[in-house]
Amino acid sequence: MQPDYRPLTPDCLDAMLALEQAAHSTPWSRQLLASCFSERYFSGSLWQGQTLLGFYIADQVLDESTLMNVCVTPPCQGRGLGRRLMTLYIESAMARQVSQLWLEVRESNQAARRLYLSVGFVEQGRRKAYYSSAQGREDAVIMQKAL
């Protein structure tokens, strides 16, 4: 059965926070997630019944969008949900007349980097020592896609 696509709403915060904490080594806080329900942001999610499987959050300023967060529940990682969320993000951005997409990803997150490259993002630069990690600091790879 294919997961259902739904926009995120503030009613999803508990499920978003639980998923964020399960999937990320440095998860966003409830307050930060809640702050993404303003006019500047757009988002989407995949659900199986009442279970949140994954979501994305992006912002838009003029004709540019930055993917702020993408998250897939650990048991479903590697099953194409990340690709589906990226496709939904790109389609939503196009509908909003965005011309440039941007994101940052940990240098060590090879799976995510491969996914982003496969949907047309290209590496544009790095932010040195941007992320904290168990080994200290880690570079962020900046990626861009023109629409």
Catalytically active residues, by annotation = 104, 116
| Separation CA 105–CA 109 (nearest Å) | 7
Say how many CA atoms lie within 13 Å of 131 toward its Cβ: 19
Q: What ranges in 44-125 are assigned the alpha helix state H?
A: 81-95, 110-118
Q: Beta-strand (E) ranges in 37-135?
A: 41-48, 51-61, 64-72, 100-106, 122-133
